[in-house]
Amino acid sequence: MLFDAHIHLTDDEYSNYIPQILNNLRALNIRACSVTVDIKTSLTSLDLFNNSRRDVVTQFIGIHPEFAGTEDTTKFIEIFSNNVDLIDGIGEIGLDPTYLRYKRATYDKQKEVFNFLLSIAERNNKPVSIHSRKSIADILETLKSYNTGSVLLHWFAGNKKQLSQSMDMGLYVGYGPALLYSDQLKMLLRNSRKDRILVETDGPVKYSRCFRGLTSLSSSFLVSVIKCAGDLLEMTYEETVSTIEKNSQSFLKRIQN
């Protein structure tokens, strides 16, 4: 089974197609890790992905740094506590200074919310999916204070040194469709430990430089990402699939235990 390690199934872009998306995931034998960005999408997720959808959807809930200034963390912990058995992990959480220009949140507020969510993950032994755009150094520093188990740096786009620090810390790194056209990402993938690589679509993000900018049912893009990763690592498609499958299981291992 393939694993799309990061997708926003609760985004409005998908809201009219959820049954089709779930059928598509089943047909393609893909499990999707759905992440949320705020209280509203977290409630939508809990509503959509109750027990009956768990054959193909792994459910994370979180507060994205974009919304750190406006979301009520007390309400979040209440939702989390009431649904702890249905929630497989915490995400999407993180830091991102690019949102400070037009959102009210300060970077300190983002850090406060990020730390709060990491402590929930640590206390409850849940894996974490992290947004680290322009903030990898701060993220790596913050993570040193937590024993969170599995951590994914989704859409990893740091430099080679930050990659090697992440590998030393045992973090997972996510690669998506941009791998197909970015030489920088290709270099990073070649330098990643094979047992720490995950693949993702970050849907509904559109990739103008591949897949003709299409969005819907984007988990099917995974096959191309895996093929590209395999070529870069000089592995066959089958070897790549089985390596990434193993990585996905160990990333989620705290769920299965």
Positions touching Zn ion (CB under 5 A) are 92, 202
Token pair for residue 51? 């027990």
The minimum distance between CB 8 and Zn ion, in angstroms, equals 6
Q: How far is residue 150's CA from residue 141's CA, in Å, rounded to a whole number? A: 16
Burial of 103 (0-12, 13-18, 19+ CB in 10 A): middle
Neighbour tally for 124: CB within 10 Å:
15
Q: What is the closest distance, in whole angstroms, from the C-beta atom of residue 34 to Zn ion in the complex?
A: 10
Integer CA distances (angstroms), 127 to 20, 46, 172, 183, 254, in order: 28, 17, 11, 29, 7
Q: How far apart are CB 239 and Zn ion at their closest, in Å?
A: 28
Q: Where are the alpha helices (DSSP H) in 63-106?
A: 73-82
Provide the minimum distance between the beta carbon of 113 and Zn ion in the complex, in angstroms, as a whole number. 16
Q: Give whichever of 173 and 241 is closer to Zn ion, judged by the CB atom.
A: 173
The span from the CA of 217 to the CA of 144, in Å, is 36
Question: In whole angstroms, how close is the CB of 92 to Zn ion at the nearest point?
Answer: 5
| Closest CB to Zn ion among residues 88, 202 | 202
Nearer to Zn ion, 162 or 201 (CB): 201
For Zn ion, the closer of residues 37 and 241 by Cβ is: 37
> Which CB sits closer to Zn ion, 8 or 126?
8
